[in-house]
């Protein structure tokens, strides 16, 4: 058991239609590295061992250990007893009918921040991105954003484009992570809002069996220098938890 950390993290009982979004600043939990490593599965430890850079390995271990701590709390089971299924496009889940509640989750990590989304009965996706100086650019936007999003982005004043680039990126990632299809679901098949932070941020879906009315994408107010978004059931309420 991740003793002290485990005691300090308090989770509320989840209720239908609520997404609990945890934002954890990894430097706050670095001192628990060994305990978090100890609750990882063999395959997670092998994955961690494949990172070339120690810092990437550390962030992976902390994020995946924290995921186990949080899931263990929501499900009231020992963290190291959790086993994950992996979807066709790589999305981890708890699999069907293993627990008394249908807990859906997703994780994202970037630089020093990890975000975890938990909800009941409906797919959920989360994305956090560190605002790297060399990342934003109209070439990338042209390649990955829909024609409508790209047009809107380049029409903004130069000074507003970088922020909107990250808003667009994280909102698109959150949606493709919620549906679990990753990039196999064409990024041009849906549009997100890239200026406003409130209201329905998923504005159109043109492909697959997805109806825009069934989904909500929310902006997540992550610490300075980061952008975040979460996607889930259309009438969800978002509860932010920080550690």
Ligand X SMILES: CC(C)(COP(=O)(O)OP(=O)(O)OC[C@H]1O[C@@H](n2cnc3c(N)ncnc32)[C@H](O)[C@@H]1OP(=O)(O)O)[C@@H](O)C(=O)NCCC(=O)NCCS
Residue 7 C-beta: closest distance to ligand X, Å: 25
Residue 35 CB neighbour total at 10 angstroms: 18
Does residue 176 contact residue 187 with C-beta atoms inside 8 Å? yes
Residues β-bridged to residue 192: 202
Q: Which stretch binds ligand X (CB under 6 A): 15-23, 30-38, 50-58, 167-175?
A: 167-175
Q: Which of residues 135-164 bind ligand X (CB under 6 A)?
A: 144
Residue 203 C-beta: closest distance to ligand X, Å: 15
Closest to ligand X by CB, 4 or 27: 27
Largest separation between any pair of C-alpha atoms in the chain? 52
Q: How buried is 162 (Cβ within 10 angstroms: 0-12 exposed, 13-18 middle, 19+ buried)? A: middle
**Tokens (6 digits) for 133:** 């100086």
- Residue 232 near ligand X by CB under 6 A: no
Q: How buried is 39 (Cβ within 10 angstroms: 0-12 exposed, 13-18 middle, 19+ buried)? A: buried
Ramachandran bin of 144, using left for φ above 0, alpha for ψ from -120 to 50, beta for the remaining angles: alpha
Member of 6, 51, 89, 243 binding ligand X (CB under 6 A)? 89
- Residue 125 near ligand X by CB under 6 A: yes
Member of 79, 127, 191, 193 binding ligand X (CB under 6 A)? 127
Q: Which stretch binds ligand X (CB under 6 A): 23-31, 86-94, 207-215, 222-230?
A: 86-94
Q: How many residues line the site for ligand X (CB under 6 A)?
A: 22
Q: Which residues bind ligand X (CB under 6 A)?
A: 60, 63, 89-92, 106-109, 125, 127, 144, 169, 172-173, 176-177, 180, 182-183, 187
């Amino acid at each position: 058991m991740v003793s002290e950390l485990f005691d300090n993290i308090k989770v509320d009982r989840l209720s239908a239609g609520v997404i609990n979004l945890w934002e954890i600043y990894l430097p706050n939990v670095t001192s628990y590295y060994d305990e978090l490593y100890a609750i990882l599965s063999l395959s997670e430890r092998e994955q961690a061992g494949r990172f070339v850079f120690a810092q990437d390995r550390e962030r992976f271990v902390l994020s995946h250990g924290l995921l186990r701590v949080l899931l263990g709390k929501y499900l009231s089971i020992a963290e190291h007893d959790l086993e994950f299924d992996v979807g066709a496009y790589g999305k981890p889940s708890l699999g069907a009918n293993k627990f008394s509640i249908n807990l859906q989750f997703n994780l994202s990590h970037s630089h020093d921040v990890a975000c975890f989304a938990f909800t009941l009965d409906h797919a959920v996706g989360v994305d956090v991105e560190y605002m790297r100086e060399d990342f934003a650019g109209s070439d990338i936007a042209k390649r990955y954003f829909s024609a409508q999003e790209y047009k809107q982005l380049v029409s903004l004043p130069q000074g507003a484009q970088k922020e909107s680039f990250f808003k667009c990126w994280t909102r698109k990632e959150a949606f493709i992570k919620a549906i679990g299809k990753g990039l196999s679901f064409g990024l041009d098949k849906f549009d997100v809002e890239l200026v406003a932070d409130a209201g329905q941020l998923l504005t159109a879906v043109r492909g697959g069996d997805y109806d825009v009315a069934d989904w909500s994408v929310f902006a997540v107010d992550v610490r300075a220098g980061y952008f975040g978004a979460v996607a889930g059931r259309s009438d969800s309420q978002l509860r932010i938890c920080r550690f």
